[in-house]
Amino acid sequence: MVHATRNVPPLAASGAGDGEEAAEILSARALHGAKPRRTGYIDAAWQRCTEMYRLDPGGRPVPEHIGGTALKHRREALALFELVGWGEMRRLFEQLNQQIVQPNSVSARFALMLVDAEATILEVLTNPASTSDAHEAHMRPGFLWDERHVGANGPGTCVHDGRARLVHREDHFFCCNREMSCSAAPIWNAEGELLGALDISFFDCKDSRASQAATGALVAMSARIIEQLHFAQQYREALVMHFHEQPEFFGLPYESLLAVDEAGRVLAADGTVTNRLGFSSRSALVGRSISDLFDITPERLFAYAETQPMAAWPLAYGQNGHGFVSLRAATPPRLRGARGLRSPGGVRPAVPLRQNATLLALAGEDPVMLKNVWRAERVMNKDIHVLLLGETGTGKDTFARAIHAASDRREGPFIVMSCAAIPEALIESELFGYEAGAFTGARAGGMRGKALAAHHGTLFLDEIGDMPLSIQARLLRLLEEKEIVPLGSATPIPVDIRVISATHEDLEAQVARGDFRMDLFYRLNGMSLTLPALRFRADRAALIERVACEENGGVPIAIAPAAREILSFYAWPGNIRELRNALRTAIAFAESGTLEVSHLPGALARGSWGAQARGRGPEDHAEPANPTEHALILSELERQHWRITSTANALGISRNTLYRKLRRYGLLPPVTPEN
More confident call, 661 vs 246: 661
Lowest mean pLDDT among 83-92, 140-149, 248-257, 357-366: 248-257
Residues 6+ apart with CB under 8 A from 219: 92, 164, 183, 184, 185, 198, 199, 200
For 18-33, write each residue's pLDDT tens digit: 334 334 333 433 433 3
More confident call, 306 vs 144: 144
Would you state the pLDDT for residue 329? 56
Lowest mean pLDDT among 10-14, 73-77, 381-385, 444-448: 10-14
Question: Angle at CA 127, nearest 5°, toward 123 and 128?
Answer: 125
Mean pLDDT of 48-53: 93
Lowest mean pLDDT among 288-292, 468-472, 482-486, 487-491: 487-491
Give the integer Cα–Cα distance in Å for 447 and 445: 7
Alpha helix stretches (DSSP H) within 501-617:
507-513, 518-524, 540-551, 561-569, 575-589, 602-606
The amino acid that residue 439 corresponds to is F
CB 486 within 8 A of CB 479: no
Q: Order across the sheet with 121-126: list the strands.
A: 121-126, 110-116, 194-202, 181-188, 165-168
DSSP letter string, 203-259: SS--S-SGGGHHHHHHHHHHHHHHHHHHHHHHTTTSEEEEEESSGGGTTSTT-EEEE
Q: Are strands 497-503 and 457-462 parallel, antiparallel or unpaired?
A: parallel
Strand partners, 269: 258
Give the integer Cα–Cα distance in Å for 306 and 255: 21
Lowest mean pLDDT among 216-230, 261-275, 456-470: 261-275
Would you state the pLDDT for residue 626? 54
Mean pLDDT of the chain: 77
Would you state the pLDDT for residue 441? 52
Lowest mean pLDDT among 101-105, 191-195, 225-229: 101-105
* Residue 377 burial class via C-beta count within 10 angstroms: exposed 0-12, middle 13-18, buried 19 and up: buried
**Percent residues over pLDDT 70 in the chain:** 76
Strand partners, 308: none
Residue 529: phi, psi to the nearest 5? -125, 130
Q: Quickly count: other Cβ atoms within 10 Å of residue 207's Cβ.
A: 14
**Percent residues over pLDDT 90 in the chain:** 22
For 121-174, write each residue's pLDDT tens digit: 999 988 777 778 888 888 989 999 999 999 999 999 999 999 999 999 999 999
For 527-561, write each residue's pLDDT tens digit: 899 999 888 888 888 899 889 988 888 788 899 98
Would you state the pLDDT for residue 334? 29
